A and B are shown apart, each in its own frame.
Chain A
Amino acid sequence: MSKNDGKATQGKRQSAHLPRKRFYRARAHSNPLSDSHFPIPISPADVDYSSHYPHFLHSSKNDPDEDDLLPKIRFADIGCGFGGLLVKLSPLFPDTLMIGMELRDKVSEYVKERILALRASNPGQYENISVVRTNSMKYLPNYFCKGQLSKIFFLFPDPHFKEKNHRRRVISLQLLDEYAYVLEVGGIIYTITDVEELGDWMKFCLNSHPLFSAILEEEIEADPVVKLLASATEEGQKVARNGGQTFYAVFRRIAPEDPII
């Protein structure tokens, strides 16, 4: 499917029953350190694919033993906000399951409604995207097994400027261990920000991590997904409207140099 299809459906949704953002106004920032109350799957086996991707489940439901053959989630958009990236990626990779993870309750509710509305007005489409409300910094391993993901996105994450709040940043040397764990070898991590200091920080962390290596510039330019980083999401559009600069880092998950096992 081409990008134009995406545009067409976007036009249609305006008139249809898409949820309006202003009814889902939320606090600007959430504190990822505090414990909130939302259900957490005990392990990736407990993630309820049937509620997220009913369409994919029904087409291969006949044999319960085929459970393992069901497609797994392959892309994760961390801190997906209002879900712009998922909506753009969906038609580009129609057979790939993707999930957005969002901490703010109202925002994740909005994304859920948005996806349902898109599915209703475009039968057969947008069946591969969904959203969960969760704290990705704490519960990523509850959703994904080792090496399950092929792409993970961090678009315009909260900057947490103060030094003492750096540990709240969604990219850190320690959290990269977990992102490396859920990504398959060869998988790609995409980050972008309009805050230069944060961009430097994310690049620094990725460069310092033994399981990630920078992707060549030519390769980045050839990746159709990279074009979406700055433009697909609500935050990206806001930055673009204000003429802001963006800083991206795209790295590949690599195998450890000296495996001991």
Chain B
Amino acid sequence: MEEEVHTGEINREAEVAPALIAVHPLERSIALALGYELRVFDFEMDCAVPLTDEAYSPCHSDAIRAICFGANGRLFVSAGDDKLVKIWRTDTWHCIRTVCSDKRVSAVAISHDGLFVTFADKFGVVWIERLEEDDQGQASVDKKAVPLLGHYCSIITCLKFSPDGKFIATADRDFKIRITIFPKGPLKGSHEIQNFCLGHTDFVSCLTFICPLDCHQSFLLSGSGDATVRLWDHVSGQLLDTCDVGEKAGLLDSKEKVEDSLAVTDINALPDGSFVAAAIQGLHGVMILKCDVPARRLFIAKFVFVEECFVPTSLGLSSSAKLLWVVMGASNVSKLGVSKMAQLRVLSDLDKFLSNEHGDYPVILKDKDMPGGEKLLLQFQGSDHVTKQDAALAATATAVKVAMQNLLTKKQYSLEKRDFRKRDRNDRKFKKQQF
């Protein structure tokens, strides 16, 4: 127990966590996770909402690594390094359930029927927990989830249900995407693998499903450390197209200094695939792709430059409002002596961009024109107007880079170091026993 606390503290000191953003599917609210803090802004009430969690304060005690809304927006889930999975009602922002995991949590998802929450741990095991119908705002007893499936010892970076609810897609740091049939009685585990989508040559960081209008099925998009976004027929496992964002990035260098890594860190897409936004590690803006499924094509439509030093860590798409929320942020920006920092931007007029209207679309909104305006920014970015300074932005950018690197790539230890780590761990165990 003592050791747990101890390592937890070390992590908070040394490990930076990238900021995450999620938009309510009906655009009622928006959530930002920054370090161990969860911040929510309600658009309908036009104010920040406090979260209530009777059992825990603060609600998370270590970096939050994954957040998401359920398909109908009734539930929200947050989880991370403190090994807690919290399920929230989005009407009251009350925590209705805390599920304890044995290991740190790297990804979460809620099934489309809202009946199950699934989460992946640091051992590559996906767990499932049933959400009872009678969760009427009362925090129920902590329960233990059951294993659903496993990627053998590879950290799962992303977990998504297919739009029809038939499949669960999991991506890992070993280049793999696994498509598993989600059974009717999932508490007995998902044992039937539909397919593996193999083709990426580096870690897979993000997944998103699309359902093009005139197609009878959905398709899967994935982003990876190999600087590509790929389009898959996940039912057959077939790779339909590969879009090399690195290639295009090379053409940007007049405006953009292209840095070493062009890892794709997040993707978001309109359900019909007409608009796919990608956050790319070395690029200071958002890459916009389009997907033409009948032609089996995925191609770059535009690069939207945001600002020097702005490296998005997470994207949140408002489908109906045609807005893209872009956040850059990290906890533990030690260079600035602050514990966390987030920067928010909004790209608007996606519809005008999609209909090829004349003009430079999408547009980056001014702070006051953002939904929620200054109030939201105060809640999400803090009052610190340091955040506006270039130096602050640069420091955040560095922190973000480290955060993403830690999150997505495996630690490479030299042989000596590996031995040293082993010894170190044993030493600690030994000392502990003596005390």
Binding site for B on A (CB under 8 A): 32-33, 35, 42-44, 137-138, 141-142, 146, 167, 173-178, 180-181, 209-211, 256, 258, 260-261
User: B184 touches which one: A177, A178, A209, A260 (CB < 8 A)?
Assistant: A260
Chain B residues 99 to 157 lying within 8 A of chain A, measured CB to CB, are: 123, 125, 147, 149-150, 152-154
Residues from chain A with a CB closer than 8 A to the CB of B149 are: 174, 177
**Bound CA–CA A253/B364 (angstroms):** 56
Would A177 and B192 count as touching, CB distance under 8 A? yes
In the complex, residue of chain B having the shortest beta-carbon distance to the beta carbon of A45: B198
User: B153 touches which one: A138, A173, A177, A180 (CB < 8 A)?
Assistant: A138
Is B199 close to A, CB under 8 A?
Answer: yes
Given A43-B199, A178-B152, 5 further pairs, Cβ under 8 A? A42-B201, A142-B198, A173-B191, A177-B193, A210-B192
Would B154 and A146 count as touching, CB distance under 8 A? no
With both chains docked as a complex, state the minimum distance between the C-beta of A166 and any C-beta of chain B, in angstroms: 12
Would A146 and B237 count as touching, CB distance under 8 A? yes
Which one of A146, A175, A176 has the greatest number of beta carbons of chain B within 10 Å?
A146
Q: How many residues of B contact A (CB 8 A)?
A: 30
Chain A-chain B contacts (Cβ-Cβ < 8 Å), number: 66
Residues from chain B with a CB closer than 8 A to the CB of A175 are: 150, 152
With both chains docked as a complex, state the minimum distance between the C-beta of A72 and any C-beta of chain B, in angstroms: 16
Residues from chain B with a CB closer than 8 A to the CB of A178 are: 152, 193
In the complex, residue of chain B having the shortest beta-carbon distance to the beta carbon of A137: B152
With both chains docked as a complex, state the minimum distance between the C-beta of B68 and any C-beta of chain A, in angstroms: 24
**Bound CA–CA A209/B193 (angstroms):** 13
Contact residues of B: prevailing secondary structure: loop
Interchain residue pairs A-B with the least CB separation, the first 8:
A174-B150, A43-B198, A181-B193, A141-B196, A137-B152, A177-B191, A33-B153, A256-B192
User: B192 touches which one: A35, A137, A142, A180 (CB < 8 A)?
Assistant: A180
**Bound CA–CA A146/B181 (angstroms):** 14
Residues from chain B with a CB closer than 8 A to the CB of A258 are: 183-184
Against A, the Cβ 8 Å flags (1 = close, 0 = not) of B176-214 are: 101011011000111111011011010000000000000
Would A174 and B125 count as touching, CB distance under 8 A? yes
User: A176 touches which one: B153, B178, B191, B196 (CB < 8 A)?
Assistant: B191
Chain B residues 41 to 70 lying within 8 A of chain A, measured CB to CB, are: none
In the complex, residue of chain B having the shortest beta-carbon distance to the beta carbon of A175: B152
**Bound CA–CA A109/B83 (angstroms):** 43
**Bound CA–CA A43/B175 (angstroms):** 10
Given the known interface contacts A167-B123, A260-B166, the answer about A138 and B174 at a Cβ–Cβ threshold of 8 Å is yes
With both chains docked as a complex, state the minimum distance between the C-beta of B297 and any C-beta of chain A, in angstroms: 21
Residues from chain B with a CB closer than 8 A to the CB of A43 are: 198-199
Is B410 close to A, CB under 8 A?
Answer: yes
Residues from chain B with a CB closer than 8 A to the CB of A174 are: 125, 147, 149-150, 152
With both chains docked as a complex, state the minimum distance between the C-beta of B201 and any C-beta of chain A, in angstroms: 6
Would B181 and A138 count as touching, CB distance under 8 A? no
Would A141 and B198 count as touching, CB distance under 8 A? yes
**Bound CA–CA A181/B198 (angstroms):** 14
With both chains docked as a complex, state the minimum distance between the C-beta of B429 and any C-beta of chain A, in angstroms: 13
In the complex, residue of chain B having the shortest beta-carbon distance to the beta carbon of A212: B191
